[in-house]
Structure 1
Amino acid sequence: MTIERFEVQREIAASPGEVFTMLCDPNGHVTIDSSGMLQSAEGAQVQRAGDEFVVHMDREALNDYPMGKYSVTVIITKFEKDALIEWTISGTIQPPIKHLYGYRLQPSETGTLVTSYYDWSQVADAYREKGIFPVIPEASLRATLGILARNVESRGIDPNWRPARCR
């Protein structure tokens, strides 16, 4: 059986609303990206399925395919406030590849259980045969969750907090 979807989870000490706000902000995607490909974004805060924004990319960050700098349109495919956001992209490669990225948020005792996923099960055979999937490794999803946690949790840090002394 071929794996066509990655899912990773992380507990984040912030409310689902705080996490979701970051994920609905086009610049939030740039802020939390662990791959280094996302350079900047343009567009309004996402509010519903069908919303779109533009992300300027630099594939050279992965050093795998010589695509250089390019832009993609992020198209929100699923949207449930404070619970689910999913998207696909349309860009220089046409027809669109139809791979999906998303986050599911569940309230937890410590804040939010965040599940990040990447699904390439709908990719056309012509793209699949090129052997480029998954485009990003599972470790990148996990690293992006770490950056997401750092960004949303830091908003609630006590300004008087100091690290413990090294022993």
Structure 2
Amino acid sequence: MSDTGGTSTNERIEVQRVVAAPARAVYDLLTDPQGHVDIDASGMLMDASGERPRAVGDSFVVHMDRDALGDIPDLHEYDVTVVIESLVPDREVSWSIIGRVRPPIGHVYGYRLEPAEPDADGRERTLVTSFYDWSAARPEWKAIFPLIPEQSLKATLGILARTVVRRGRAG
């Protein structure tokens, strides 16, 4: 596993990491509602409920605790609905968030998966790109972004790499 860095623009962050697992295993983790909680580096995701998404528009609920960021003292625990924006098996998953703010803010999180060179023993590896895009966010909300810094996305990729390998050994 290796970190291949990241890129940022004024309205999008992307980070990448090669993960020692096939794309199918990474995709399975990323489409598992509990998987989102398992790999979260922000500390905000506490639990999830709902079914694994099967199509664009499917959703599940994530139970959050904003105290982990310490940026909004009165927010504490709340729920958000994750709405799937793209879902391409073994290639991509992205989602928007519906929370308390109406209409929704308009930011999108997601992952792209690409084959990477096999390891020295011929085992499959996957280049995982995590992205966080607020280019379509409503103008009145853009000033608060990024809520999650690039370093948190990199840390989440590290946790993803560890988690998908452990799940593979347990499965």
Number of the residue aligned with 1:71: 79
- Distance of 1:68 and 1:23 partners within structure 2: 25
Deviations 1:7-50 (A, max 9, x none): 00000000000000000000000000000000000011111111
The Cα of 1:144 is off from its aligned counterpart by 0.3
Please name the residue that 2:144 is paired with.
Answer: 132
Q: TM-score, normalised to structure 1's length?
A: 0.89
Tell me how many residue pairs correspond in the alignment: 155
Q: What SS does structure 2 have at the residue aligned with 1:20?
A: helix
4+ residue runs over 2 A deviation: 154-158
Q: TM-score, normalised by structure 2?
A: 0.87
Secondary structure of the residue aligned to 2:103 is coil
Evaluate the alpha carbon distance shift between residue 156 and residue 127 of structure 1 in structure 2; reply closer, same or farther with a 3 A threshold: closer
Unaligned runs of 5+ in 1: 159-167
Looking at structure 2, the residues matched to 49 and 55 of structure 1 have their Cα atoms a distance apart, in angstroms, of 17
Mapped to 1, the partners of 2:33 and 2:160 lie a distance apart of 14
| Alignment-derived partner of residue 164 in structure 2 | 152
Other-structure match for 1:161? none
User: Which ranges in structure 2 are unaligned for 5 or more consecutive residues?
Assistant: 1-8, 119-124
The one-character-per-residue Cα deviations of 1:127-155 (angstroms, maximum 9, x if unpaired) are 12xx3110100011000000000011124
- What percent identity do the matched residue pairs reach? 55
* TM alignment of 1:3-152, pairs within 5 A: 3-66=10-73, 67-110=75-118, 111-128=125-142, 131-152=143-164
Distance 2:95 2:161 in 1: 20
AA aligned opposite 1:138 = E
Higher alpha-carbon Rg = 1
In angstroms, what is the RMSD of aligned CA positions? 1.3
